[in-house]
Amino acid sequence: MILELLSKLGVDKVFDYGAGIGTFLALAHTYGMAGIFADVESNTMKFGLDRIKSLGGSPTPMTVDPHLPSLPRDLDCIACTEVLEHVYEPELLIEEFYSALRPGGILVVSESFDYVDEFCAHLPTHRGKGGQRFDRILEDAGFRSMPTGFLLHPSVSVRV
């Protein structure tokens, strides 16, 4: 459903931060969307890129440093699925997402702590950042929530 929404919104290229095994970009390819596969250099990254290529896709690989997030600018769409829970200071990465997106750009976030107030995820620094607080973190960074029809996640936000 998210990819159908992105397609209707005219997204033709997705920057997948923390692309893992490439599931989101593999599905995006079936909707005719190109992608940037951004992740830490690893065997998982190689597997994900090979997986998408085996399906006929040709994602652009980009190695990221989770300690110094610096992304390309003027992106149309960033997908970040089940990654922020592994980042020590997710607020800093969300601010980088805002800077990287063009005005009106779309951020797709799926997190285990986006709907549970006190869920600590993998890091103690996440305690108390879930639920409505997570929504405020996105809002404070300059994002406006878009209704998706999902009760929990993923959430879709627009850079205002």
Query: In a structure prediction context, what are the per-residue pLDDT tens digits for the chain, which is 160 residues long?
Result: 889 999 999 999 999 999 999 999 999 999 999 999 999 999 999 999 999 999 999 999 999 988 888 899 999 999 999 888 788 888 899 999 999 999 999 999 987 654 555 554 566 666 666 667 788 889 999 999 988 776 556 788 899 8
Give residue 152's pLDDT. Answer: 56
Could you give the number of structural domains in the chain?
A: 1
* Strands 13-17, 75-81: pairing kind: parallel
Exposed, middle or buried, 58 (CB in 10 Å: 0-12/13-18/19+)? exposed
Name the residue with tokens 């209707």: 8
Q: How far apart are CA 107 and CA 15, in angstroms?
A: 10
Collapsing DSSP states into helix, strand and coil, what is residue 34?
strand
Under 8 Å between Cβ of 98 and 109: no
Residues present in the chain in total: 160
- Expressed as residue numbers, the domain containing 129 is 2-159
Name the residue with tokens 């005005």: 103
The CATH number of the domain holding residue 138 is 3.40.50.150
Q: How far apart are CA 109 and CA 50, in angstroms?
A: 24
